[in-house]
Structures are given as C-alpha cells and as structure tokens.
Amino acid sequence: MSLPLEGLAAIVTGAGRGLGRAEALELGRLGAAVVVNDHGRPGRDGTGEISAGPAEEVAAEIRKAGGTALAHTGDVGDFQQARDLVESAVGAFGKLDILVNNAGILRDRMVFSMSEEEWDEVIRVHLKGHFNTIRFAAAHWRERAKQAGGPVYGRIVNTSSEAFLAGSAGQPNYAAAKGGIVGLTTSTALALAKYGVTANAICPRARTRMTEDVFAGFEQSGDGLDPLAPEHVAPLVGYLASPAAGRINGQLLVVHGGMVAVVERPRVAARFDSAQQTFSYEELDALLTPYYADRPRGETFAAVEVLGLRRA
C-alpha cells in the first residue's frame, strides 16, 4: 500500500523546531521527500560540541525513520536565498510538489511603542518570506505545466494566525503580516488553479518556542497530548498537501487541539444607497449613525469568537 505523499517532494520553512518540525516529520511519515528549511548555521551546543543545527537534526530524524530529507539553512526573507531553497529541492528531487510556509518570528509591542525595525522584521520574515518562496515555486509549476501541456501537481500551505482573525492588540506587526498572508493565499489560489496548484492557509494554535510567552497562561494537562502541541496541527498540513485535498483551494482553516474549523469568507452585513447621484455628509449621517448605534459597542471586523473555539 503506497503512502499518500509517496513520490512527492516538499519544502517546509522554519522546520527546525516547533510547528515546522512537526509538519516536516509528518510529510516525511506520509512519504514525501522533504527539504527542511531553518535559518541559521551549525554551531556549538551546550557542551561545546559542534551541533549540526536544527534543520539537519530534523532531516536526520526523517532519514532515520526511513524517509528522504535534506537540510537548507537559508533565510526565506531574502529573495535570492528563497530562490536557492526552491532550486535545492528541484535539484535534489527533480521537482517540487509541496510548499509549506511556516517560518516566522515575533516582535510583540503595542502600536504606539513599536519601532520601525520591529515592524519591518516581522513583515519581512512572515509576509515577504511567504511571497519569496511562492514566487519561485509558482514559476516552477507554471513552467512544468507549459512543458506538460496541462496541469501539474502543486500544493501550497501557508501559515496565518488567529491574531489576524480576532485582532491582537499587542501584535500589530504580526496581525498585519498574517492578514496579508491570507490575501496572498487567495490571490495565489486563483492565479495558479489552472496549473493544477492549490493554495490554502491555516491558523494554528500551538505551544512552541516562539509562542511560549503567548500561551504561558494555558495550563497543560498531565494526561495525554498537550492540547497546544504542534502534533495536533501537522496532520492537517499533511492532508492539505495530499491528492485527497485537490478540491480545497483558497481556504482558511483554524486548527488546534484535535479541532479543525473552516472559516467562512466575509459577507456584506448592510448596504446603503444614496438617494442622490452621490452621498453627502448629511445623508451618510442619517443612514450610518443610527445603524451603528444599534450595533454592539466595541464590535469590530475582528472575529474575536474564534478564540473560543475548542474541541467538543
């Protein structure tokens, strides 16, 4: 019996630890050959010995389990290093079939005290990093489709966040980047569908090194798997990367703790038409002021209710 991803080649960014590690291991378990990307070079561990580095350690773990994997330590926020990442996969495995964008950093601060550098760093790694890898993967799939004379196999799984959906007061940079990733995902989904490529985004909730402060107040039960363990997220990534998910495109899914929720696209809540050729201030005041007077105080476009999602 063949594995779901057998014969397919994948990239997972930010895969040296946490979510990316769990996702890379899952893709390897399902049969994919994996390029494990994690920015940084080998160094010395706590004992002073030379360490292979997180990316190579995860790649070695996949190989030990009988899979195929190699490490890449490039920075996905750098355009040329992202090109090298995609070219490394194609060079090693002959093609690229799956791209999982997970790499990210946090620089949390309120908007009135955030520095330009803190804003730029997060946008660069998350949003630009997603674009960079997609740019070169998309060109690869487009060229393959032209040569094949029809659609090829391609899967993109991007990483957004509930910080975008619900609004996160102390993370304006992160929330903005994650919202941008959703826009990038839906645009990519429409652009690449004719080539046989799907693009979807997930909003994972997981306890990792990056989010340990965020989830410090979430107690971990002593029994069974931590509800915030990255291993709850990885199976959905494996599924979205598989042939079985071919009809799923341009979607946003929340996943954590044994639960997956499909997020519906925004809907128009109300519409107002001017009685004249165009609106005046007075007409807008007469229409919008009473409308918002009847809405719940403090309600915004943010979907705060997603933070209450739990496995039943």
pLDDT at 214 (0 to 100): 46
Q: Which residues pair with 10 in a beta bridge?
A: 34, 98
What integer is the mean pLDDT of 257-263?
Answer: 95
> CB neighbours of 1 closer than 8 A, spacing ≥ 6?
none
Q: Confirm if 12 and 29 have CB atoms less than 8 A apart.
A: no
pLDDT in tens, 28-67: 999 999 999 999 866 545 555 556 799 999 999 999 999 9
Could you tell me which of 1, 7, 72, 84 has the C-alpha nearest to residue 42? 72
pTM, two decimal places: 0.91
How many percent of the chain have pLDDT more than 90? 86
**Catalytic (active-site) positions:** 161, 174, 178
pLDDT in tens, 191-227: 999 999 999 999 999 775 554 444 444 455 555 667 8
Q: Say how many C-beta atoms besides its own lie within 10 A of residue 22's C-beta.
A: 25
Q: Encoding tokens for residue 112?
A: 């009135």
What integer is the mean pLDDT of 4-14?
Answer: 98
Q: Encoding tokens for residue 54?
A: 């997180």
- C-alpha count within 13 angstroms, C-beta hemisphere, residue 249: 17
